[in-house]
Each structure stands twice: as structure tokens, then as C-alpha cells.
Structure 1
């Protein structure tokens, strides 16, 4: 589990390395198309077939559009315009968003730890959004809000998964939502990929592309689901809350992004809110790992 946390935490910086030389949508289209092909191959190898029940098609299509296409549109814009620290901290509030939306929609019970954790977590986000300083401007605020939009997309997707009546494996769910979400990203990012000077991409950019595709999606996904089976969803969620810390520590030497006091304060509130909200939290019936 610690390996997955390290991979996902570092992934924010590796993606920014690639985004310095190509557009966010082109990067996402390339990355998710490659990952979809690889995961479908893994699905075929592990389960013997990539087929879906006929009644699952439209459900998986809208889930793919929400969790991959729309999510990545928000996420790529946000990561391009904000810091690794801000992006990783706001993304970390996803479990809180899931719990609160689940309570509002009646999918989950509204428990006191969820309310308290939500207040703490979103106070941390507010602290980050309201922060002043040379590194925070209108563009960065728009980036932060876009990351928050990505978080909302993933929360709605997660609740949709929990409410889904069709029983399929987590690997099949992830492979097919990626396969149905990738075409939209490829369509949006295609013009940029056609015009891209592939020979001019630096080693840093290629490292970012392959790290974000092979390690952050394929390898981390397989390790994540094995960890959930071995140690349970509660403990994996605790490990997951370490991702912003890893992201900030990696961005410091790789990108020169120094953590600011307001980000550290926001991190304390967000991580504290996540951990508190997990008290007596029931394990989800089915959950897909979130690819950053």
C-alpha cells in the first residue's frame, strides 16, 4: 500500500513535467487511451474475457464520461494552473465529498463523524482557496476550483458505483470506464496530438507520460486492489490520506514548489477531517481506484 501512495503522490509532479511541453487534454487523451488498452488486456488475461453484460453498457458509458472524460477535463486544467500542493490537497477531500453527497442522496447514513470531518476538510480547502501571497492569483484560483470540480465528478461517480445493481469485478469496471472515457479525451486532445512535435519532447516529458500511464494507472491500480483485499478499505483510506504529503515533498525538489504555511495548515485540516470521518465508516461494496 505504501508503494501505491508513493506512486500516486509523485504522479502530480511527473504529470506537471509532461504538461510543461504539451496541452492537458492531449496528455490525458494519450495517457488514458494507452491505459485503457493495457487494462483491457489485463482483464482478458485475468478473467478470460472482456465482455460486458448488455444491460451494463449504457451505465458504463455515462460512468466513463463522468469519471474519466469530464474528470480529466477539470483535472488537467486545474493541474496546469495551480500548484501540486493545492491540487493534491483538494483531491484528498474526495472521501469527504462522497460521504456528504451520499448522505444527501440517501445512499449513506449521515453520521456525526462525517459532518465533523466534512467541516474540517472543507475548512482546509477554504483556507487554501482564500490564501494570499505571490504564488496565488486569479489563474491559480481558477485552477483550484477546477480541481474541486474534478473531485465532485469523482464523488458522483463513486456513489453511482455503490448504487449500481449490476455485479461486475472492480477490474472490469475500471477497464471499461476507462475505455468508454478515453475516446472523448482523445477527441478533445487529438488536434494537439496531431500538431505536437513528438521529436522535440524532452526526456522529462516522456518520463512524465510513461510514469503517469504505466505506474500511476496500471501498476498502482493492481497494487491498490490487492491491498484493499489484504488490509481492508479502512486502512487503505488512511494510507490514501498521506498522498498530499508525498506530493508536496516530491514537488519540492522536482519542480521547486516550496510548501507554504497556509498549505500546511490546510493539509492538517483536510487530513484530520478525512481520518475523523472514517470512524465507524462502513466499507463500500465496490470501489474503483482513482487515477490522478
Structure 2
């Protein structure tokens, strides 16, 4: 029995890590794509709204199939879906895209992804899940990496508006990891993603109609580093790759790994965003940022070493027969 449980834990961990990295890489592409749209005349709110609504349209048919035979599932999870849409989708992305308007993509994302600290603090305060020594050590190493990547000499102090927006995105990102773990075993991840994306997109449209956020789009060609594409190309990629796939895979990874470990693995998004910003926007990372990126990777590995008990418990629960 112990051998079977360990085997399940190992498979669950491997699957969770692979899915989490794929999700992080997909999310990392969103900032550079959105930056291109905004440089072509789109507002941040419009880029977010189109991104999440396209993703909701892609996921809606799958979610509808999963809801067959369970008419009360949406009603029972209405609060979770609404919170997910308002905090994890609309709030996080609007804050992040506004941060990108005031600072480099990589810097904005790195401030946002101090979110694992908030996740650890929340789980400790709310659920008494005290972090172990490895988790604390890995977190400190990862944050040191973040500080190096930010590189205060690069002019960060001059963009206080960007810092404020990025910190708001951090709060939303922490909510994303906490809420994504909810409903496991009862609410399919695609349903949570589709519902949350719909709520988030409609909320942004309503805010724009009320004049709370500026909504403006353009059909101008979108220029990136060395090439130009039609406006609908980044829109399609934002909706399908950086939203539909990224959110569904992110929910799956969080349910496999738990909120704490998933939030640290998601720091790979930082490296992906730096790479995509370099390729698409010409924002080449500095040597100090590369060193910080290496420390982030080390921090994730150390945190992973401190999380086996949580994964074991989740695997054992999965292995138990249902009633």
C-alpha cells in the first residue's frame, strides 16, 4: 500500500510540475503581446477584456459538456466562480497590464510574483499550514532572485505608478493560487476557468461602459521586434494560449501540487516573460537579471524539497475509494 501511495505521489508530482511549467510559460507570453497591442492604440482594459472573453468563448463548449447532468453545480459554486473572475482574472490582469505601461514587462511581472509570500502567509494564518524550513529557505532564495532581476539601478524608483499597479497584481495573483485549489473533486477546472473568465470579461466591459476604465481598441498593425502582424494575431494568441490554455492548466497544476508549491513553480513565468520580452520587444535582460533568474530556479527547487508531505497527503486522498 505504501509503495502504491508513493508511486501515485510521484506521478502526481511529475504531472503537476509539467503542467505548472507549461501554464507559466503560456502566462509569460501575455505581457509582451499585450504591450504590442497597447503600443498600437489599445488600452489595457480593452486588451484584458478581449483576451479573457475570447478565452471564455473557447472554453464554454467544453464547460457545457462537463455540466451535463449537474444543473446545480454552477449555483453551488457561484461565489467561487465570481471571486475567481473578479480577483484572479479581471483584477490581476488589469493591474498587470497597467503596470506594463509604466515599466518593463519583466520588472512588472517580478513584483507581481512576490505572490508566493502572500500565499504562504495566507495558508499559515487561515489554515495553520506552517511552512517548513525548506519552504522558507527556498522562498528567501527566490525573493533574492526577484530583487536581483528588478535591479534597482535600472530606474525602477522613477515609476511609482508602475509599482502600485504591480503590487495590486500581486494580491490578485495570490488570490488566483488560493482560489484555483478550491472545488477540486467537485468543480471541473474548465468550468471554473470558463465561468471566471466570463465574469472577469463582462466586469471589465461594464466598468468601461460606466467610464471607470478606458476601453479603446484599434485595427492598426502591431509591431514587435523586427516584424509586424495584423491586430487579430496577438488577440487570438492572447485568448487561446495565454488565457484559455494558461488558466485551465494553471488550475490543474494547483490542484495537483497545492497552492503553495504551485505558486513557487509559477515563478517560471518570470523567466518566460523575460525571454518573450527579449524576443518580441527587444528588452534584453541584464547580467544581474540573469543571475536573479538562476536564483529563482534554485529557490523553486528548494521549496519543492520542502513540500513532499503535502503532495503525499493529496495523493493518498486521490487513491482512497470514493463514497
Please, which of 13, 30, 33 is the counterpart of residue 53 of structure 2?
33
CA shift, 1:255, in A, is: 0.8
Report if aligned partners of 1:128, 1:262 keep a CA contact under 8 Å in 2. Answer: yes
Alignment pair present for 1:65 and 2:91 = no
Are the counterparts in 2 of residues 94 and 151 from structure 1 also a CA contact under 8 Å? yes
For residues 151 and 280 of structure 1, what CA distance do their matches in structure 2 show?
Answer: 23
* 1:125 match: 146
Aligned pairs for 1:1-292 within 5 A: 1=18, 4=23, 6-21=25-40, 22-48=42-68, 51=71, 52-129=73-150, 131-133=152-154, 135-139=155-159, 141-162=160-181, 167-190=186-209, 192-193=214-215, 195-196=216-217, 198-202=218-222, 203=229, 205-221=231-247, 233=257, 240-281=266-307, 282-283=310-311
* Separation (CA, whole Å) in 2 of partners of 1:91 and 1:271: 17
1:39: how far off? 1.6
Partner SS, residue 45 of structure 1: helix
**1:175 CA displacement:** 1.5
Distance 2:205 2:306 in 1: 41
Secondary structure of the corresponding residue to residue 124 of structure 2: helix
Is contact 2:32-2:277 (8 Å) kept? yes
Deviations 1:63-112 (A, max 9, x none): 32111122122111112222122234344444443223212323523211
SS of equivalent to 1:200 = coil
| TM-score of the superposed pair, with normalisation by structure 1 | 0.78
Matches of 1:226 and 1:108, distance apart in 2: 21
Change in CA separation of 1:236 and 1:107 when aligned onto 2, cut-off 3 Å = closer
| 137 and 207 in structure 1: CA distance in 2 versus 1, 3 angstrom threshold | farther
Per-residue deviation at 1:161?
4.8
CA distance in 2, matches of 1:205, 1:123: 38
- Bigger radius of gyration among the two: 2
For residues 124 and 88 of structure 1, what CA distance do their matches in structure 2 show?
13
CA distance, structure 1, for counterparts of residue 102 and residue 170 of structure 2: 16
Give the distance between the partners of 1:101 and 1:274, measured in 2 at CA: 19
Asked whether the 8 Å contact 2:60–2:194 carries over to 1, the reply is yes
| Matched residues, number | 279
Q: Is contact 1:13–1:247 with CA below 8 Å preserved after alignment?
A: yes
Any idea what the Cα deviations from partners look like across 1:129-179, whole Å, max 9, x if unmatched? 56113x54522x532442232122221343345466993122222211222
The residue that corresponds to 1:288 in the other structure is none
Q: Check whether the contact 1:25–1:188 (CA below 8 A) recurs between aligned residues.
A: no
- CA distance in 2 between counterparts of 1:128 and 1:114 reads 21
Q: Which moved more, 1:30-39 or 1:151-160?
A: 151-160
Q: Which runs of 5+ in 2 are unaligned?
A: 1-17, 223-228, 315-323
CA-CA distance at 1:248 after TM superposition: 1.9
Across the aligned residues of Structure 1 and Structure 2, the Cα RMSD in angstroms comes to 3.4
Q: Return the TM-score normalized by structure 2.
A: 0.72
Contact 2:150-2:289 within 8 A present in 1 as well: no
Segments of structure 1 that go 5 or more residues without pairing to the other structure are 286-292
Which residue does the alignment assign to 2:10? none
Distance 1:124 1:204, change over 3 A: farther
